[in-house]
Chains A and B, each alone.
Chain A
């Protein structure tokens, strides 16, 4: 039934029809007409952040942790451009988001008006699609198209730019109007011939390894992955973003590979005769030198995006389809079998290359913090991270119990993702424990969102692994720049406990190993947000390490 409404009302009604209940954002002149109708829609909860980047990462964390589309509002000009890092982060990791931005009035577009930015132009490469809507009549269909595009196929962010006067214009909204997307196809089941080739490769292989990527998480195929792995007794290596797609206490769990992954995971991939890649894009952090990547193996690549197949690694078994459908097609055709010698060899690799051994030290190290977090929370928390050493320690030492409990900026490598994404995850999962593992560098990029956590009494726990360094930079300068240390030390970090207290948040400082457990328990027991300043070893290199563009043969396992 067609309704006659203002543009702002059409947007809100369409959001509600899409099941949206939470929006993150900041108002400004051009988007004020939309905020002007929010009081008419009490089921749309708006969470005011302190920076649009924070709103975007919060929507991203909400989306990843709930499997729904994250929504963010921002105004024109700087409000919209502040979203760009958040959109790029979501784009690289295929996270479903819809961003709605205000634009200057139609008559002013293109005149360099106050707070005008060509945001559809600026976000072309960092969105799955974007729209500039010039008529209120088009708003309803556009919002529904945007959600369809964001959540289907390979998910991604979609931006809708709406001029101020279009929000205020009266228009018709037909909630059931058909979408108009002639160029958009959503892969479902794979071609049966591709499935047969893949099944035959699996059934023939003696040393198979499953490489489970973010696609397994995005398609929520956790049970299917486990079923296939167990049926054919195939070890499972998860990519950085595939972490928590497979239970880490499972006997077939074989860690994550690549630049700072477990040596045994990289070795298993190197020595396999078949790699079965579910929803990973063979990222350069895993592959390194593509000419020397697992040269002895055949490869199956299952991906919903045909443009990913054969992009960096040539495969014998391409399978284009929705991973959940592909599992359903593939599992019946895969023979129940055991790979006893191969699994024994993997166990041998794990014993020979423990990778997760924490160096003996009386002082507090990042690994100690993550290990204690893992032990005290029993692997039951949602973990968000930024990018750098703390991220890798978190990936290495937190033992994830629950599916989809790891949120990290993998592709874009966005420092500062950790603080707001945890807010989004907590909003989406109010009853779960959310720990944000932060570096002191990344934390300071988005720490203004502590105010958002405090204001909404979101009980996010922030663990700052504080070494007063951009630790990964220090490490790279050690390895690759002749120990010429430049711009990697923070000589004047704030007092993070006092900072927390300034935001009305509980602050705890931990300086030694014996304080770890009690501090984490204290933070867990506290009803509101907490910042724990873990003062860790100043310089502590991260191992294992495969230098960029190299192969497993250049692995630096542990020089100590």
Chain B
């Protein structure tokens, strides 16, 4: 997984939570308090009635994010929380991309659409809208390639992720380095104690 030199990285956290008002505010508050950005967030009803599943990607020092995950577990409305960044997971996100495609460029755009196995869901006179599903790299690559035609709108859902049912290595994209031993969060040890008052 991408880790920056300062020990910060994007981490994927999956939480099973009560389907009640205010739950999202409680969870996001624990990140906000430390000044962390939530890079993406996906929420929806889960397989269990009354419970929703949230998948969010946050950026911050690894140990601190893991500690926040432990604090999330303390919330009354959180039934289960896992930092699955280092687990054998499969994840996807979806994007709707409206790109300029005038007659002269349309063939080239459609060629990219075919290569990326993207669905065209709307065609206009000057533009077309596609639906792309996959890992972040695939979506980022597609966006970069069609940028020159003129991006009109990009809408991304945020990541949804789940643990693999098997331990067979999957495709590169969407799969973090496998580390089955770290399937749940390991509590952190801060390397630096600053901020004393």
A interface residues with partner B (beta carbon < 8 Å): 120-121, 124-125, 128-129, 132, 149, 154, 181-184, 284, 287-291, 305-307, 309-312, 314, 548-549
Tell me, in angstroms, the Cα distance from A62 to B188 when the chains sit together: 36
User: Given A149-B76, A183-B77, A307-B74 in contact, is the A287-B193 Cβ separation under 8 Å?
Assistant: yes
Interface residue ranges of B154-188 to A (CB < 8 Å): 187-188
Given contacts A128-B76, A183-B18, 7 further A-B contacts (CB under 8 A): A129-B75, A132-B21, A182-B50, A182-B51, A182-B79, A290-B193, A291-B192
Contact A124 B26 (CB under 8 A): yes
Chain B residues near A309: list those with CB within 8 A: 187
Write the nearest CB–CB distance from B124 to chain A, whole angstroms.
39
Could you say which residues of chain A place their CB within 8 Å of the CB of B192? 291
- Pull 10 A–B residue pairs with CB atoms less than 8 Å apart, ordered by A: A120-B22, A121-B25, A124-B26, A183-B77, A183-B80, A184-B76, A287-B193, A288-B196, A307-B70, A314-B189
Which residue of B29, B73, B194, B196 is within 8 Å of A124 (Cβ)? B29
Question: Which residues of the partner chain A approach B194 to less than 8 Å between Cβ atoms?
Answer: 549
Q: Give CA–CA (A261, B78) in the complex, Å.
A: 38
Would you call A183 and B193 a contact (CB within 8 A)? no
In the complex, chain B residues 69-93 whose Cβ is within 8 Å of any chain A Cβ: 70-71, 73-80
Closest approach, in angstroms, between the C-beta of B179 and any C-beta of chain A?
19
> Given contacts A125-B29, A284-B196, A290-B190, are A307 and B67 in contact (CB under 8 A)?
yes
Residue B17 CB within 8 A of the other chain: yes
A183 to B22, CA, bound (A): 15
The CA-CA distance from A128 to B77 in the complex, in Å, is 11
Q: Which residues of A contact B187 (CB under 8 A)?
A: 306-307, 309-311
Q: Which residues of the other chain, B, contact A128 by a CB distance below 8 angstroms?
A: 76
For A154, the chain B residues whose CB sits under 8 A away are 74
Q: In the assembled complex, how far is the CB of residue A293 from the closest CB belonging to chain B, in whole angstroms? A: 9
Which 8 residue pairs of A and B lie closest in terms of their CB atoms, listed nearest first?
A549-B196, A290-B193, A307-B70, A310-B187, A183-B79, A314-B189, A129-B76, A548-B196
- How far does the alpha carbon of A172 sit from the alpha carbon of B71 in the complex, in Å? 35
Chain B: residues with CB nearer than 8 A to chain A? Answer: 17-18, 21-22, 25-26, 29, 33, 50-51, 67, 70-71, 73-80, 187-190, 192-194, 196-197
Pick the most buried of B67, B77, B196, B197: most chain A CB atoms within 10 A of its CB.
Answer: B196
B25 close to A124 (CB less than 8 A): yes
Q: What separation, in Å, do the CA atoms of A311 and B74 have in the docked complex?
A: 14
Is B26's CB under 8 angstroms from A312's CB? no
Q: Are A183 and B70 in contact (CB under 8 A)?
A: no
Q: For B17, what are the chain A residues with a Cβ–Cβ distance below 8 Å?
A: 183
The smallest beta-carbon distance between A132 and chain B, in angstroms, is 8
A511 to B186, CA, bound (A): 57
**What distance in Å separates the Cβ of B82 from its nearest Cβ neighbour in chain A?**
14
Q: Interface of chain A, helix or strand or loop or mixed?
A: loop
Complex alpha-carbon distance, A182 and B52, angstroms? 12
In the complex, are the beta carbons of A548 and B76 less than 8 A apart? no
Give Cα distance in the complex from A508 to B197, angstroms.
37
CA distance A125 to B33 in the complex (A): 9
Are A548's CB and B197's CB within 8 A?
Answer: yes
Chain A residues whose CB sits within 8 angstroms of the CB of B26 once the complex forms: 124
CB-based nearest A residue for B26? A124
In whole Å, how far is A217's beta carbon from the nearest beta carbon of chain B?
Answer: 21
A319 to B79, CA, bound (A): 22
A181 touches B67 (CB 8 A): no
Tell me the smallest distance from the CB of B28 to a CB of chain A, in Å: 10
Inter-chain contacts of A125 with B (CB < 8 A): 29, 33
CB-nearest residue of chain A to B23: A183
Report A106 CB to chain B, min CB distance, Å: 13
Cα A311 to Cα B193 in complex, Å, equals 11
Residue of B nearest to A413 (CB): B197
A125 and B74 alpha carbons, distance in the complex (Å): 12
Residues of B within 8 A of A287 (CB): 193
Q: Whole-angstrom distance from the CB of B22 to the nearest CB of chain A? A: 7
A132 to B193, CA, bound (A): 37
- A63 CB to nearest B CB, Å: 19
Closest residue on chain B to residue A184 by CB atoms: B76
**Which chain A positions have C-beta within 8 A of B67?**
307, 311
Q: Which residue of the partner chain A has the closest CB to B18?
A: A183
Q: Name B30's closest neighbour in chain A (CB-CB).
A: A125
Assembly CA distance A288 to B18 (angstroms): 38
- Separation of A419 and B36 alpha carbons in the complex (Å): 38
Contact between B70 and A306 (Cβ–Cβ < 8 Å)? yes
Q: How distant is the Cα of A78 from the Cα of B75 in the complex, in angstroms?
A: 27
Asked if residues A307 and B196 are in contact (CB atoms below 8 Å), the reply is: no
B177 CB to nearest A CB, Å: 23
Query: How many Å lie between the Cα of A311 and that of B71 in the bound state?
Result: 10
Determine whether the beta carbon of B71 is less than 8 Å from that of A183.
Answer: no
Residues of B within 8 A of A181 (CB): 76
A312–B78 Cα distance when bound, in Å, is 24
**Cα–Cα distance between A86 and B197 once the two chains are bound (Å):** 21
* CB pair A307 B188 closer than 8 Å: no
- What distance in Å separates the Cβ of B196 from its nearest Cβ neighbour in chain A? 3
- Enumerate chain B residues within 8 angstroms of A312, measured Cβ to Cβ: 190, 193
Whether A291 and B193, one on each chain, are in contact in the complex, defined by CB atoms closer than 8 angstroms, is yes
Q: For A289, what are the chain B residues with a Cβ–Cβ distance below 8 Å?
A: 193
Question: With A and B bound together, what is the CA distance between A467 and B25 in angstroms?
Answer: 45
Chain B contacts for A129, CB-based, 8 A: 75-77
Bound Cα distance from A284 to B18, whole angstroms = 34
Distance, CA A183 to CA B97, complexed state (A)? 38
Given A120-B22, A182-B79, the answer on whether A307 and B29 have CB atoms closer than 8 Å is no
Residue of A nearest to B33 (CB): A125
On chain B, the residues within 8 Å of A121 by CB distance are 25
Complex CA–CA separation, A307 to B21 (angstroms): 24
**How far, in angstroms, from A306 to B73 measured CA to CA in the complex?**
9
Q: Are B189 and A310 in contact (CB under 8 A)?
A: yes
Instruction: Please give the distance in Å from B24's CB to the nearest CB on chain A.
Output: 11
